[in-house]
């Protein structure tokens, strides 16, 4: 089996473990937008914005550092134990700090005190399982990894359906204990409760890995991992800013209702987000494990080209048939006021995926600090454009700011990669596919909106060009 084919197979399994949860969350969007008005949906959004921020803080780049040193160290059991002990201790200290300063944090985060407690309970549980999950990926156990992830999301979905639909619409069938504590006024809270239950079950399923190796904390290994990982943490914070600051600013600068509509329509980009995340899950350990192979750089180049092809196709399908997806996912017309952001956000996330692909150069050369600087650049662009343009252009400015940030990061990373870790990317093909898909999307969305008689042939044209350009190499991969 060829290395490239093995990569696609592993990515498919890890991708499914990522795609299925995201798809299930996507399935919940119609339920949430039906039950919650746009203003209340903004509360749900604020909760997960803060969750993303603190998740990065709590893991402080240790997951990627774990892959880096586990794949190269002769004492990988010490790497596992050191990373696990470090994250466990820091999480316990974090929990104590939250308990002491909870009143100040509740005011800062603008969250209901009960929601605040749910948020940090979820964060603590999720952080404790980071290293066990990473261990499953690093040791090539994608099926177990996928199984636990699927159990987690099934619990989230089932509990959402139970509280937001079944108990709400069929209270006569619900236990009295549930009815006595059920408050439709605070129904958004049940979304968070579902997450807490799922996180607790996941923690229990991974508990055996807490005792996988003898307790051994190696200070030198930790120092190496910290040196490697802290720039990734800063880059992660910058990424959270790029991904989520726009929503908080729209709420403050325009209204909670507009922010809810923006966040709801943002969910239509979930298929691109899923694709990018699935790639990242499979690619990160792959890049480290195969870095020493002779033809590694050629493989990385091929991976990027096929990533762009697949991403461009997803981009086109979603934009060309946006009316279908809009009516399928967001049935409440109150949210449609922000539908114009979708093509821009989709393209921005495709650029982000390309950036993740290109980031192989600074991860393999241990220049994670440079990756941090690139992410900070993106965050500064996001902050500057949002503050400058939202008062002038409204919520659409936030989408353009996201595109500008990710596009800039992609371009800067490409040119720096050429200097420090040159990979023979087929820029002619990659650039051609990006330009063609962007042109087709613009024609479909802005000139012939909702006209499938125009959109379908344009989509087939893209597929035809890809087929005749790449068929020989694709067949070679399949047969290898």
Half-sphere exposure (CA, 13 Å, Cβ side) for 173?
A: 8
Task: Please state, in angstroms and rounded to a whole number, the distance separating the CA atoms of residues 335 and 242.
Answer: 22
Tell me how crowded residue 152 is: count the other CB atoms within 10 A of its CB: 23
Per-residue tens of pLDDT for the chain, all 480 residues: 455 556 556 666 666 666 677 677 777 878 888 888 877 788 888 888 888 888 888 988 888 888 778 766 677 778 888 888 898 899 999 889 888 888 888 888 878 888 889 999 999 999 999 888 888 877 777 778 888 888 998 999 999 998 888 888 788 777 877 777 777 557 888 889 999 999 999 999 998 877 766 777 888 888 888 888 888 888 888 888 888 889 889 988 998 888 888 988 888 887 788 788 777 766 666 676 666 777 878 888 888 898 999 999 999 999 999 988 888 878 778 888 889 999 999 999 999 999 988 888 887 787 878 888 998 999 999 999 999 999 999 999 999 999 999 999 999 999 999 988 888 998 999 999 999 999 999 999 999 988 889 999 999 999 999 888 887 776 665 565
Q: Note the pLDDT of residue 61.
A: 84
By residue range, what is the domain housing residue 220? Answer: 3-479
Half-sphere exposure (CA, 13 Å, Cβ side) for 451?
A: 14
Q: What is the dihedral sign for C-alpha 444, 445, 447, 452? A: positive
Residues 6+ apart with CB under 8 A from 243: 52, 402
How many domains, in total, are found in the chain?
1
Residues 6+ apart with CB under 8 A from 52: 240, 243, 244
Angle among Cα 227, 407, 249 to the nearest 5 degrees reads 85
Q: Note the pLDDT of residue 1.
A: 47
Torsion, CA 382, CA 242, CA 318, CA 338, rounded to 10: -60
Task: Please state, in angstroms and rounded to a whole number, the distance separating the CA atoms of residues 310 and 463.
Answer: 10
Task: Confirm if 221 and 73 have CB atoms less than 8 A apart.
Answer: yes
Q: Note the pLDDT of residue 435.
A: 95
How many Å separate Cα 335 from the centre of its chain? 22
């Amino acid at each position: 089996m060829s290395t490239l084919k093995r990569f696609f197979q592993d990515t498919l399994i890890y991708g499914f473990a990522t795609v299925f949860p995201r798809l299930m969350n996507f399935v919940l969007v119609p339920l949430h937008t039906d039950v919650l008005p746009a203003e209340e949906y903004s509360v749900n959004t604020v909760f997960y914005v803060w969750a993303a921020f603190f998740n990065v803080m709590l893991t402080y780049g240790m997951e990627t550092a774990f892959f880096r040193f586990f794949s190269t160290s002769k004492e990988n059991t010490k790497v596992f134990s050191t990373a696990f002990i470090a994250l466990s201790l820091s999480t316990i200290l974090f929990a104590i700090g939250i308990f002491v300063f909870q009143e100040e944090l509740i005011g800062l985060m603008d969250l209901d005190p009960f929601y605040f407690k749910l948020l940090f309970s979820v964060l603590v549980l999720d952080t404790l399982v980071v290293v066990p999950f990473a261990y499953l990926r690093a040791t090539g156990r994608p099926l177990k990894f996928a199984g636990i992830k699927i159990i987690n999301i099934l619990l989230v979905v089932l509990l959402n359906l139970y509280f937001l639909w079944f108990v709400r619409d069929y209270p006569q069938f619900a236990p009295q204990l549930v009815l006595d504590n059920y408050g439709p006024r605070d129904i958004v809270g049940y979304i968070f409760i579902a997450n807490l239950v799922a996180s607790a079950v996941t923690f229990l399923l991974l508990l055996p890995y807490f005792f996988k190796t003898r307790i051994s904390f190696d200070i030198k290994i930790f120092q190496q991992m910290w040196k490697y990982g802290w720039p990734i943490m800063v880059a992660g914070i910058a990424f959270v800013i790029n991904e989520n600051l726009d929503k908080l600013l729209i709420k403050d600068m325009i209204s909670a209702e507009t922010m809810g509509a923006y966040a709801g329509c943002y969910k239509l980009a979930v298929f691109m987000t899923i694709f990018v995340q699935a790639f990242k899950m499979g690619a990160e350990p792959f890049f480290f494990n195969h870095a020493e192979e002779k033809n590694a750089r050629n493989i990385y180049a091929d991976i990027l080209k096929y990533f762009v092809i697949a991403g461009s196709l997803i981009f086109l399908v979603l934009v060309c048939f946006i009316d279908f997806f809009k009516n399928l996912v967001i049935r409440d017309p109150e949210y449609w006021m922000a539908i114009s952001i979708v093509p821009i956000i989709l393209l921005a996330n495709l650029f982000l995926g390309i950036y993740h692909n290109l980031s192989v150069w600074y991860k393999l050369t241990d220049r994670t600090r440079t990756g941090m600087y690139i992410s900070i650049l993106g965050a500064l662009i996001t902050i500057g454009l949002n503050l400058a343009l939202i008062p002038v252009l409204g919520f659409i400015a936030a989408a353009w700011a996201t595109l500008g940030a990710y596009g800039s990061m992609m371009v800067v990373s490409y040119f720096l990669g050429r200097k420090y870790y040159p990979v023979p990317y087929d820029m002619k093909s990659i650039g051609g596919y990006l330009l063609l898909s962007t042109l087709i999307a613009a024609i479909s969305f802005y000139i012939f909106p909702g006209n499938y008689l125009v959109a379908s042939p344009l989509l087939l044209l893209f597929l035809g060009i890809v087929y005749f350009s790449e068929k020989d190499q694709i067949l070679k991969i399949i047969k290898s």
